[in-house]
Structure 1
Amino acid sequence: MADHATDGSRAVGWDEGKWLHPPVRAELADDGGLLVEPGAESDLWRHTGYGFVHDDGSALLAPLPGGSAVEVSFVLDYTAQFDQAGVLVRVDERNWVKTGVEISDGLPQVGAVVTREVSDWSVAPVPEWSGREVTVRISRDGDALTVRARADGGPWRLVRLAPLAPDAAALAGPFCCSPTRGGLTVRFTGWRQGPADRELHPAD
């Protein structure tokens, strides 16, 4: 997985990342994707509303320097409450952002959790994304992370603008959690890195 696109991005090999909280199972699929089974009742959350700290979600991480972007693609074929997959950007256990698609109240929801000592959470329903390949993109530029997502190569949808100190050493890559059960398997289909988006609100 070392091909380069015309925009300067490249495919990241699954073996280039290091596991934060290794999963129960991670194996290569026949098509080159990665099948990941996170631990039972795993999650990433700090305090707000629920009154607990969970820091045992599985994530495959590599450096995310300023001026770069990371994209992760996966198949949205999970249905249990709070099943989730996407991208984690992590500075440390108290400062991180996870974003992707999570099942909440019976629907797939695209959203983000931004954590600086305590977590917040925002979601929007995307039932039309069920059964499709979803791509989540986080672009790091200046003091900001710009989060976008899309399904099957459709138009990018702005999900979140979140702060991140320009000098923070951050890691990023695919993550998944299954807070209410065991046995979830997420099929990740791609991981790419490249230059940050040139504009916060591109014309196209």
Structure 2
Amino acid sequence: MTDRLLPWSAGTWTTEPVSAEVTSVGLEVEAVEGSDAWRHTSYGFVHDTEHALLVPFAVGRAVEITFTAAFREQFDQAGVFLRAGEETWIKAGVEFADGALQLGAVVTHTNSDWSVAPVPEWNDRNITIRVSRDDTSVTVRARVDAEPWRLVRVAPLAGNLDIGAGPLICAPTRAGFRTTFLSWVETAADTDLH
């Protein structure tokens, strides 16, 4: 199977956003204030109110989401979401945390973990998150504009799970956060880690 540009109508929202409008540029989405995905670790709460537009995601495939936004407030976030259920999911992308844009991922198997690295120069630019799935794991890569791919994370994910994947936006601390998703592509998974 070759590259496939997915239409925005292909997916189903995990939680409906304030708005989602297809424009000449892409899909412009406004998040609900308080939307997020997190389970237990350190903070003690469970949030299962993310806005993720999901389609089935098979072993041997990859998904690439390109988007742009003005990340300004604590925990504004966008990227890719993979979901098997309320206790098994992964979000990968960028998040405004502690005064700077951060690139990272949250991997959740009952409890969430979190890893980030600062990328303040990526704000207001075209960011692409690519997630490849094999029969034991996923590999997350990211880039801004046409710069080289960066390895973000290799994380376990069982091949026998039914997974949905697609664009993600959350706004845990404010109203009015918007992201424009520019493209949604399904393609062959990466065969090499390096």
Give the alignment's TM-score, normalised by structure 2. Answer: 0.98
Contact preservation (8 Å) 1:14, 1:34: yes
Contact preservation (8 Å) 2:69, 2:178: no
1:119 equivalent among 112, 121, 146: 112
The aligned residue for residue 43 of structure 1 is 36
1:160 & 1:51 partners in 2: Cα distance? 24
Aligned to 1:41, the other structure's residue is in SS state coil
1:52 equivalent among 36, 39, 45: 45
The aligned residue for residue 162 of structure 1 is 155
Aligned to 1:197, the other structure's residue is in SS state coil
- Please give the per-residue CA displacement for 1:71-113, whole angstroms capped at 9, x wherever unaligned: 0010142211100000000000000000100000110000000
Aligned length: 194
Runs of 4+ in 1 over 4 A off after TM superposition: none
Contact preservation (8 Å) 1:41, 1:178: yes
The aligned residue for residue 4 of structure 1 is none
Query: What amino acid sits opposite 2:98 in the alignment?
Result: D
Aligned to 1:79, the other structure's residue is in SS state coil
1:179 & 1:77 partners in 2: Cα distance? 15
- Please give the per-residue CA displacement for 1:138-179, whole angstroms capped at 9, x wherever unaligned: 000120100000000210000000001111110000010000
Structure 2 segments unaligned to the other structure (5+ residues)? none
Pairing 1:19–2:30 present: no
Moved more, 69-78 or 95-104: 69-78
The aligned residue for residue 94 of structure 1 is 87
The aligned residue for residue 24 of structure 2 is 30
2:193 equivalent among 172, 195, 200: 200
Structure 1 segments unaligned to the other structure (5+ residues)? 1-6
Contact preservation (8 Å) 1:17, 1:60: yes
Contact preservation (8 Å) 1:76, 1:134: no
1:93 & 1:179 partners in 2: Cα distance? 18
- What are the equivalent positions in structure 2 for 1:60-139 lying under 5 Å apart? 60-139=53-132
Query: What amino acid sits opposite 1:116 in the alignment?
Result: H
2:71 & 2:175 partners in 1: Cα distance? 12
Alignment RMSD, CA only? 1.0
